[in-house]
Amino acid sequence: MGIRELAKHLNISIGTVSRALNGRGDVNPETRRRVLAAAAELGYSPNQSGRSLRQGSTSAIAFMLQTYSGAELYGEPFFIGLFSGVQEVLARHGLDLIVLLNTPDGDHEAQLRRVVERRLADGILIPWTRRIDPRLDYLIQRGFPFAALGRSESGGDHPWLDLDFEQAADVAIDRLAGFGHRRIGLVNNGHDLMHGHILLAGYRRALARHGIGFDESLVRTEEMTEAGGYRLAEGLLRDGPLPTALLVGSERVAVGVYRRLNEAGIRPGRDIAIIGGMIDSPASRFLSPALTCFRLSLHDLGVRLAEALLATMPDHAEAYGGGTVQALWPLELVPRESDLMRLGG
């Protein structure tokens, strides 16, 4: 079933069929009706390869999802929420979202080159940038449209959105310091991910603001998983006096921390204050004690991210004119139980 066949069935030319299907103005309404009816009846839609080849664009946007364990910083719930916003915007432009998972061999760069060189999509969204991220330089060099989720020292002047980790660190440390804490630990991700660096910088700055000295032994790098949280707590218990408060990267880490502390008879919110997680993932509320964390609108972030990308694509920019998007996304503290303890004094 190609356009040729459909045209023959209707006794008109393929040109007219194409114009009718694509909503061009110069088609007799009755003709258009017949074409649409026949297409629906016969289950015809234009072949995407033919279309892409002719138009020089694929009508698809790729999202490079990395699944190596340490990248589960916010866990997958993060992406599900994000995608709904991204798709909402893409749908306005008739664009498909295709999610590409990193291959088992894990060569992100090769995979990215493949997308660009084979032209698998018209634009690409790059989450979890690294501090040094050759992907961004490559995309700029190729002139391929993209938007990054996360800042980076690479890539020069390019569109990005990022969570405001500095602000989150400020708010968290203010709150904990206000409760009387001065030994506040931080769990950070590894992998040279940019937000790890930023969170650490924010943490240091906020401590300094409160006149609290930086203690290297209170900062740990771990996988952002339950197992990582467990190992972290294990290490803290082993290494000496526990910090009185802890800032952790995700509710997944918190689950592991809770577990290990629980085994040691230590209860968050009573014996140690914990703030964790940037996206208020569904579990946070239902842990015992409920986890104080941060919240943001993933849907809205997805909308904005998609718009930032489209703004760089000539065919779609008109609706989103006005320069390269580079913006921080606010995080709102959700106070719950896990940090509800005031230090004596």
- Residues at the contact surface with a second copy, assessed by CB under 8 A: 43-53, 58, 65, 67, 75-77, 79-80, 83-84, 87-88, 91, 96-101, 103-104, 113-114, 117-120, 142, 225-227, 229-230, 252, 255-256, 258-259, 262-263, 282-283, 285-288, 290
Q: How far is the CB of 42 from a second copy (least distance, A)?
A: 10
Instruction: Indicate the Cα dihedral angle 297, 148, 224, 192, nearest 10°.
Output: -150
- Single out the residue of 12, 15, 61 nearest to residue 38, CA to CA: 12
Contact between 120 and DNA by CB under 7 A: the answer reads no
* Residue 205: CB minimum distance to a second copy, A: 32
18 binds, among DNA, a second copy, none (CB under 5 to 8 A by kind): DNA
Contacts 24+ apart (CB under 8 A), 152-158: 152/194, 153/194, 154/129, 154/130, 157/324, 158/324
Under rule CB under 7 A, residue 58 binds DNA: no
* Minimum separation from the CB atom of position 254 to a second copy (A): 10
13 binds, among a second copy, DNA, none (CB under 5 to 8 A by kind): DNA
Tell me: does residue 143 bind DNA (CB under 7 A): no
Residue number, 6 or 184, with CB nearest to a second copy: 6
Written as one string, the DSSP assignment of 250-315 is -HHHHHHHHHHHHHTT--BTTTBEEEE-SS--TTGGGSSSPPBEEE--HHHHHHHHHHHHHTTSTT
234, 222, 229, 174: which is closest to 202 by C-alpha? 174
Strands 123-127 and 60-65: parallel
Which of 119, 197 has the CB closer to DNA?
Answer: 119
Q: 25 touches which of a second copy, DNA, none (CB within 5 to 8 A by kind)?
A: DNA
Helical H segments across 99-147, by residue range = 108-117, 134-142
- The listed partner (a second copy, DNA, none) that binds 16, CB under 5 to 8 Å by sort, is DNA
- Residues with Cβ within 8 Å of 124's Cβ and at least 6 positions away in sequence, in order, are 61, 62, 63, 64, 112, 115, 116, 139, 144, 145, 146, 309
Choice between 58 and 167, CB closer to a second copy: 58
With CB cut-offs between 5 and 8 Å by kind, which of a second copy, DNA, none does residue 76 bind? a second copy
Tokens of 294: 């941060």
Of these partners, a second copy, DNA, none, which one is at the site of residue 12 (CB under 5 to 8 Å by kind)?
DNA
Please name the residues in contact with 188: beta carbons below 8 A apart, sequence gap of 6 or more: 196, 199, 200, 219, 220, 221, 222, 249
Which partner, a second copy, DNA, none, binds residue 103 by CB below 5 to 8 Å per kind?
a second copy
Of residues 7 and 168, the one with the C-beta less far from DNA: 7
Closest of 189, 186, 218 to residue 202, by C-alpha: 186
Q: Which of 8, 36, 42, 54 binds DNA (CB under 7 A)?
A: 54
Residue 177 interacting with DNA (CB under 7 A): no
What is the Cα–Cα distance from 292 to 330, expressed in whole angstroms? 16
Q: Which of DNA, a second copy, none does residue 113 bind (CB under 5 to 8 Å by kind)?
A: a second copy
- Taking CB under 7 A as the binding criterion, the range among 41-49, 134-142, 144-152, 209-217 that sits at the site for DNA is 41-49
* Residue 215 near residue 186 (C-beta atoms within 8 A): no
Name the residues that contact DNA, by CB under 7 A: 2-4, 11-19, 21-22, 25-29, 31, 46-47, 49-51, 53-56
